[in-house]
Structure 1
Amino acid sequence: MQGHAAEARVTAPPPPSEAELIQQVKKGNQQAFAQLYQQHIKRVYALCLRLAADTTQAEDVSQEVFVQLWQKIHSFDGKAQFSTWLHRVTSNIAISHLRKQKNWLQRVVSSEEQGMEHEQVAQCQELNGLDKLIVRLPERARQVFVLHAVEGYRHEEIAKIMNMAVGSSKSQYHRARGLLKEWYEHE
């Protein structure tokens, strides 16, 4: 009897692949969606936190990403890796969310906006190293830097996503790099 129990444990089916989970989610399987959520929430939240520099907004945007994912999973065609597609969706939702904020235009115009204050960064245990410096960047510079340097978007794509000129994207990126270099040297 004990030998059969050991065999049963050994022959248990492997967990479903990501592709299998996606197919199950497309059929409305909530358990598969929960597994997909668990596999990707940390990366989605990290991207949202880098873009928003605010833990509450990052949580809200992360939640919105997964609501949209549930509703629009059928648009994933499998031509790209799921994680690549999800990060593009996350970036677009995060930028859109930030645009909708009441004071978004005012924050964009104010070049002195410095993201999270030092005290907020110190309290945010999800961040370390470069991320602690990134969230201190002015909002536009931070968003461009994250999209270009971290997520690999081209300046032409960033300009389209953020509704700005390509030159502005490049300028914000170089501004962010300069500030990060300066802060890194003084930390």
Structure 2
Amino acid sequence: MTDRTLHISAPSPASNTPESDDVAAAAGGDRRAFERVYRAHAERVYSLCVRMLGDRVLAEEVTQDVFVRVWEKLPGFRGDAAFATWLHRVTVNVVLTRRKALGIRDHRTADDEALDQAPSRGESVGDRLDLEGAIAGLPKGARTVFVLHDVEGFTHEEIGAQLGISPGGSKAQLHRARMLLRAALTR
């Protein structure tokens, strides 16, 4: 195992939590601490991967890729942002890289197309309120901001920093996503 050092600049007293201790230990090469970090965040990372990729099997694979990348990059985590924010950014980068490698340009997946061609099961409220399908049908930018804000709980400032857009741009995309979702769910 190689030596690892954690470059965290002047941690505040509030950052001395069991998670920050695990992150610091994992950055130092402690595999058990990394396993605890993995268990604490794997479900959230997987959920984000599913929403961005639209394919559960691929999302499982990419989730593993994310944590491999985190293990490699963790020694460079400086603590300037919350660990969850940094992890989210790593996840988005890995997903975008995978999408590019697979040649996925459109926001729709083969699963979405199959759903479009599936016969209608009736007009119950449950059928019309297919939130997952409606989210998957959003344009890429609006969907990403919607998932980051309304599902993952990031602020517009954090989203702007992660995506390289202004907080106002994030707010505009979120408003657009909500309007499109409302229209899709009331059809």
Shift of 1:44: 0.6
Q: Is the 8 A contact 2:23 2:33 kept in 1?
A: yes
Shift of 1:148: 5.5
The AA in structure 2 aligned to 1:176 is A
Q: Deviations over 1:80-109 (max 9, x none)?
A: 2211211122122212221221343xx36x
Equivalent-residue separation in structure 2 for 1:94 and 1:33 (angstroms)? 21
Aligned to 1:79: 80
Q: Deviations over 1:111-149 (max 9, x none)?
A: xx47743876xxxxxxx9744531233445423443465
In the superposition, the TM-score normalised over structure 1's length comes to 0.64
Shift of 1:67: 0.4
Q: Is the 8 A contact 1:144 1:173 kept in 2?
A: yes
The AA in structure 2 aligned to 1:74 is P
State the number of aligned residues: 156
Q: Is the 8 A contact 1:148 1:158 kept in 2?
A: no
Aligned to 2:144: 143
Note the residue ranges of structure 1 that are not aligned, 5 or more in a row. 1-15, 121-127, 162-167
1:1-187 map, 5 Å? 17-104=18-105, 107=106, 113=108, 116-117=111-112, 130-147=131-148, 150=151, 151-153=154-156, 157=161, 160=164, 176-186=177-187
Structure showing greater Rg:
1
Q: Is the 8 A contact 2:156 2:170 kept in 1?
A: no
Q: Is the 8 A contact 2:138 2:180 kept in 1?
A: yes
Note the residue ranges of structure 2 that are not aligned, 5 or more in a row. 1-16, 116-128
Equivalent-residue separation in structure 2 for 1:77 and 1:158 (angstroms)? 16
Q: Is the 8 A contact 1:116 1:136 kept in 2?
A: no
User: What's the RMSD between the two structures over aligned residues?
Assistant: 3.6
Q: Is the 8 A contact 2:89 2:162 kept in 1?
A: no
Equivalent-residue separation in structure 2 for 1:93 and 1:66 (angstroms)? 10
1:78–1:46 CA distance, 2 compared to 1 (3 A): same
Percent identity over the alignment?
Answer: 37
Give SS of 2:186's match. Answer: helix
The AA in structure 1 aligned to 2:112 is E
Equivalent-residue separation in structure 2 for 1:84 and 1:169 (angstroms)? 16
Equivalent-residue separation in structure 1 for 2:160 and 2:28 (angstroms)? 36
Shift of 1:72: 0.5
Aligned to 1:123: none
In the superposition, the TM-score normalised over structure 2's length comes to 0.64
Q: Deviations over 1:136-187 (max 9, x none)?
A: 33445423443465444568657648xxxxxx9888656533331112223x
Q: Is the 8 A contact 1:115 1:138 kept in 2?
A: no
The AA in structure 2 aligned to 1:79 is D
